[in-house]
Structure 1
């Protein structure tokens, strides 16, 4: 029954993702390369979970962690550890991970992330597009717990380090939503009372170069 439930959810979610507007409807290309795939995996899942999305979003692209020579080996190591955990962990984790991987792949094939840059370039800038990788991040946390149960010192040590980073950095820095003051209620009331032809600008959060501009009908 668990497999049937997961399969049903996967089919529904996959159909929704594939039926939504894709990158072809945007003015920017997909920009898919193996190096950008490694950057996406590293920043959206590995750094996002272990150090928090607020930290992952601040990683400089011209610095040490912006180099493909760093992101690619770390991503490959994460994939290897993830595969070991899936092989040795419970079947439910493997089934959920398959579901999560399908969602992530669908998001990579047909992303709707940015109108300003290639789609994969935008996906490597969390929190942009993190909705595609939320379930994969949960699966990664499950894999970390499986590694902690292994008798081999290398695997147990890797799990302990990853869990430690998650507890010390990931949760405090990434699992708290900032209290953004938008004054939206006051702006909405002003908009409702404005005469026809009024142009009102609504700034976006996170900040963007393209705010929402409405013209009152």
Structure 2
């Protein structure tokens, strides 16, 4: 069972209280919270033991508005980071902030479901707007980073690597994908006939010399 960093009930209380204070200061709950954190950081004594993260006040997904300039960065604890993204989502209703909040607050089943939906929506927006991997120029640029084709392609090293994967996972995958008819077949004795002519690309009447092999029953896994 995964425990959340902070509950939604606690967040609602924080939002309500900050909204009241923000109204008096003629601002919104998110900006009021950020200013409070900035003031708090200035008054704190440096502590190497404490863990802080960098929070972009105007997030990086706000293209053309966000920067890495010091005035757009505030040091936050993990809990403060969660609160910041949640408050920004409540104030501006941006799905990216909701996604950031869900990523940090804890992996509940519902959070994962909503997160995946948000990621799918983001990919769909990229597809419609032809951005990133849906942009031909971007793909060409990324492709050139890989340099000329080479490396282990077509080499013995590549063959051995693929063989290793096949030996390790081939049987497991094969058994997993067996249909009921195949399971029924291998559960009984069978006779296999091997013929050199059978390798012909077309059917042949004369199979030539054949090797017959009696195969014992196999345990169905």
When normalised by structure 2's length, the TM-score is 0.23
When normalised by structure 1's length, the TM-score is 0.23
Give the strand-richer structure, 1 or 2: 2
Larger radius of gyration: 2
